A and B are shown apart, each in its own frame.
Chain A
C-alpha cells in the first residue's frame, strides 16, 4: 500500500546559506569559483571527543542529520538511509598514504573511518539508534537510491525515516579532473539530510510524490521522464520548476516551466541532487499545494534520477 510521504525536516550544508535557513531558494546566486562550503558550528551538534577524529564528510553528515531531526522533532528515526557516491575519501586517501609510506605499525583510525557506511554508522552511534541502517552508493544516483529505499520503508512500516546525501571533496579530485580533461567546474563537498514521514506535521515543507532511477544504457530518457510524469497524470507543461543537472544550455527547452541547473548553485559532487531536493522543498513551502517540482538528474549521462515534489498546505 503506497503511503503519502512528507518532508518534515530538511538540512543542507553547502556553499549557500542553506543550513537552518528558510526561503534560500529565492535568493541564492550562482557559485563563484573559489568559494567554500559554509561550515556550521559543529560543536553545537557533536560531542567534542568525537568531533576531533571526524573528517569533513562525517562532521557535515552527523550535524546535518541532527538538525533535520531537531526540526522534525524526531529523536530516533525508524531508518537511517544514506546515499554517497564516493564515500569517505579523506580517510580512504589517508589510510592509502599511511600504509604505502609508513614503516612498522600503522594507526587504524583512518581505516576504521574509511568505509562508505561510516556516515550512517556515526549517525546511529550519535543517536543511540538501533533502527534499519544502510548505505547506497550508485555514482550520481546514490541519493535517489536512498530516497527510494526510504519511501519503501515508509510503505512497509510507516514512521519517520532519515534519508541523506553525503559526499566530500579532497584536493586530489581537482587534479584528477584536470587529468581527465574536466575543468571549469566547482568540485566540492555537500551534505543534505531529510526526515521523511507518512504523516504531515506543522514542520512539513513539501510532499514527495515519486522517485525513480534508470541506470545503464538503452533507455529513451525522454520517454522515461514522460511516463514518470504520466504516473501522476502530469505532462511536461504542468511542472512549475525543473531542477536539472548534466545538460548543456539549450537542451532545456523541452520544459515550459522555469529550469534551474542546480549544480551552478551547489557545485559538483555525486549526490548534488540532495541539494536539489532541499531547494525544491524550500521553493514549494510557501508556494501552495498546486505547485510541482521535477528534479532531473543526469549528472552522469548513463544514470537518470527523477524526483517529483509537490507543495503542501496543512
Chain B
C-alpha cells in the first residue's frame, strides 16, 4: 500500500501578505503586491513583488538574533514556522526538511562583492550565508529539525521539486513527516540577470496576454507540512489536502528558453496526472507557471493544449500578484492550489486583455466560485527543468 502525502500545515510570506490568511485575502480581492522597487545604486526602480518587512523586522518577529543571516533564510523561517504551527517533535516520527532556493545568501554576497571589488573594507563573515544549503540548515535548526535536511536548486522549478522529493520520501517510508518548500529574496543579481535576458517587463507583467513583455520578479517563501497517514494519526492533525501526483521532465532544448512544442512541459504535466491516478478531464484548475515572458507562456499554452486538447481546464497564473519568486514560486503556488481546493475558488490572472493569437487560450480573470477537486500546478525553470504537481482533497 502506497502512502499518500497529506498536507496538514501551510505557511506563506509574499508581496501579498505575511500569512496564509493575508495571501488569501489579496487573491480574493485582486490586490497585487507588485510595486516600483529600488534596484540598487544608479538604477531605475523596477516593478517587483517585494515583501513589506525589512530583515530586522522579520528577525525580531521570529525572535531570531543570530547574525549574519540571509533574507532568504528569514523569509523561509517565517513561512516554515507558520506551516509547522504548534507541532511538537515526537520520538518515533522521523521528521525532515527540504527547502529550495536559487539565490541562497546572494542578498548578502552581492553587498560583500560590491565592497570587495571597489577595494572598500568588506565583511567576509557574511559569506557563510552564501551557499544554498546553509539556508535550509538555518531554517531547520530554528525549528529544531535535524536528520534529513536537504536543499533542491533547479532554478524556477525548485519549490515544486522539493515538494515532489518530500512526497517520495514519505512514500518510501524514509520519513514520516516533512516540511517542504522554497524561499528566495529579491536580489540585484537576479534583477540584472533577467534584465540582461531582456525578459524583465518594466511595467506590470501580463501573463498569457498577447502583448506580454516579460516577468516581474518577486520574493517570498512558502512551506507545506506533509505527513504520512501513520504520522497524522499520531499528531492528530487534520489533512487539508494531498500531494497526489508529480512529474519532472527535462525539456533538453536550450539552457534558458523553452521548446516551442512544449516538450518537457507536456511530459511533466502528463506524468503528474498519470501518477495521481487521474485523467486530464479530472483536473478542475491549472495554476500555471505563467511568468509573462513571451517564450514561457506560449510554450506552456502549447503544452496545455497537447495534454488537454480542446478542453483546457480553468487556468490562471498568479505571478501578477506576487511577482516571479523563483525557487519559492512552486511552493507559494502549492499553497494557492490547496487554497483553491479548500475555498472552492479559482484565482484570477491579473493584467490580461487579449489571448495569445497562436493558441487562443483565455485564463480566468475574476475570482470564481467553483468545485475544485484536483489542481495541476506547473513550475518550469532554466536548464529545461519542468515539474508539475497534482493536488487533491
Partner-B contacts on A (CB < 8 A): 80, 85-87, 93, 95-97, 99-101, 105-108, 111-118, 120-122, 124-125, 127-139, 142, 145, 149, 152, 155-156, 176, 179-180, 213-219, 270, 302
Contact = CB atoms under 8 A, between A and B. Distances in A.
A89 to B, nearest CB: 10
A308 to B, nearest CB: 16
Contact of B255 (A113, A149, A213): A113
B148 A129 contact: no
Contacts of A80: 250
Interface of B: 102, 109-110, 113-114, 117, 124, 127, 131-134, 136-137, 140-141, 145-155, 161, 165, 168-169, 172, 174, 188-189, 192-193, 195-198, 248-256, 263-264, 267, 381-385
A215 B124 contact: no
Contacts of A115: 102, 153, 155, 381-383
Given A125-B255, A216-B145, A118 B383 contact: yes
B147 A214 contact: yes
Contacts of A107: 196
A219 B94 CA distance: 13
A138 B136 contact: yes
Contacts, number: 177
A137 B264 contact: no
| Most-contacted residue by chain A among B109, B148, B197 (CB, 10 A) | B148
Contacts of B165: 134, 149
A11 B196 CA distance: 36
B113 A152 contact: no
Contacts of B254: 125
Nearest to B42: A103
A130 B131 contact: no
A118 to B, nearest CB: 6
B131 A85 contact: yes
Contacts of A217: 141, 146
Contact of B137 (A100, A128, A142, A302): A302
B196 A87 contact: no
B84 to A, nearest CB: 15
B140 A112 contact: no
Given A86-B131, A106-B196, A129-B250, A121 B384 contact: yes
- The list of the 5 closest CB pairs from A to B, nearest first, reads A121-B383, A216-B146, A111-B193, A116-B153, A215-B149
B147 A136 contact: no
A111 B195 CA distance: 10
A97 B263 CA distance: 35
B132 A116 contact: yes
Contacts of A155: 172
A214 B193 CA distance: 35
B20 to A, nearest CB: 27
B193 A95 contact: yes
A133 B145 contact: no
Given A130-B251, A137-B151, 14 more contacts: A101-B117, A107-B196, A108-B197, A111-B193, A115-B153, A116-B132, A120-B385, A133-B249, A134-B385, A138-B133, A139-B131, A216-B140, A216-B146, A270-B131
A97 B384 CA distance: 26
